[in-house]
Amino acid sequence: RETATGAVRELLDQVGLRKRADFLARRCAAPNRSGRYHRLEIDGQRALAASQPQKQRVSEFMQGFAQTQPDPRFFEVLDVARRIAGTGSLGLERYVILVRGKGVAGGQYLLDLKQILP
């Protein structure tokens, strides 16, 4: 996919976007009128509400990370939730982060951020 060009690249990008759009629809609250997602779905199975201090800490971390990337706006945080996944994360902080991504309808991305111990 990374080496494809022209019409093939466009087709692969559209297919990838469609899959991501379906994934976003399952993990996010209803999109706004322009088709952009702004909030994560807090379902008690995959995501739990994050406190304001947790959201602030994750957002500040992401701002610092974004400044080291070629396109910092891609990593603009739209929402943060506590992530529920497996037993390997018990006792560790883990978050799902909805970021701006490409900035178009369905172009947002979900990132998984997990605490590591020394």
Give me the number of domains the chain comprises.
Answer: 1
Cite the DSSP H helix spans in 1-114. 6-27, 52-66
> Of 6, 17, 4, 3, which Cα lies nearest the Cα of 102?
17
Structural domain contains residue 1: no
Structural domain contains residue 76: yes
d(CA 89, CA 114): 8
What pLDDT is recorded for position 5? 78
Q: Which of 30-34, 76-80, 106-110 has the lowest mean pLDDT?
A: 30-34
Structural domain contains residue 38: yes
| Average pLDDT over the chain, rounded to an integer | 86
| Structural domain containing residue 64 | 6-114
Q: Render pLDDT for 15-63 as a digit per residue (tens, 0 to 9).
A: 666 677 788 888 888 888 888 888 999 999 889 999 999 999 999 999 9
Q: Using pLDDT thresholds of 50, 70 and 90, give the confidence band for residue 118.
A: confident
Structural domain contains residue 27: yes
Structural domain contains residue 100: yes
Structural domain contains residue 45: yes
Q: What pTM did the predictor assign?
A: 0.78
